Structure formats: C-alpha cells, structure tokens
Amino acid sequence: MRLRTDTTHLRREAAVTLPQGGPRHHVREVFVMLVCLVFYEVGHGLATGRDDIAMANGMAVLRAEKALGIYIEPWLQGVASRLDLVVAWSVAFYHYAHMPLTVGCLIWLYMRRAEAWHLFR
C-alpha cells in the first residue's frame, strides 16, 4: 500500500464555498429561517397555558413507549438524577450549547451539503 502524499484533494474538500445562487439567494435563505423561527416562537407562545393538552400528548407518548417496550424513562431519570455532574452538564448544555450547535449544524449543512439543505431547513 502506497501512502498518498498529494493533499490537493483535501484542500479542495476543505475549502469553504457557498452553494450556487449568489448573495440574493443566501439572504433569502436566512430570511426563510428567521421567518420559521418567528413562527416557532409564536406557536410556543400560543401553546402557553394549555397544560392539559400537553399532558394528554405526553401520556399518549408514554402509552406508545410502553406498548413498544421502550419505556425506560423512570429508570433513566433515576440513574441520571443521582449524578450531580450529569444533571449540571445537561442543564448547561441545554442553556448554552443547544442553539449554537443547532445553528452551527444548519450552517454546515447549507455550506457543505447544499443538496440536503432544503430537506432539513
């Protein structure tokens, strides 16, 4: 087996290039994502105070998990809640990393996997 010393292909693959479409296209994509975020926040606000519906939906999920034999939530919560580091890490991740990682993944997808962008957008 011969070691490949030519790294041109690696530099070419690592080069950051925006998908085809030009500046207007990129601005439009950002606008679409911002509109989606606004709709999400509005929907979240409209759902506030509808705890009965949320509880009914949660119970339906629990029944489905039990029917499928994958209901491990009480066990998992019991184990995790005894480990202070796991609890602290989970809270910190949700507060500080969830949104930046999601945005970062979307940016990566847009710039590196443009063919799949519309599916995940």
Average pLDDT value for residue range 76-100: 91
Residue found under tokens 């519309």: 118
Q: With bands split at pLDDT 50, 70 and 90, how would you rate the model's confidence at 17?
A: low
Average pLDDT value for residue range 86-103: 90
Res 16: pLDDT: 57
The answer to whether 95 and 103 have CB atoms below 8 angstroms apart is no
In DSSP notation, 55-77 reads HHHHHHHHHHHHHHT---HHHHH
Res 114: pLDDT: 81
Average pLDDT value for residue range 75-81: 91
Res 83: pLDDT: 93
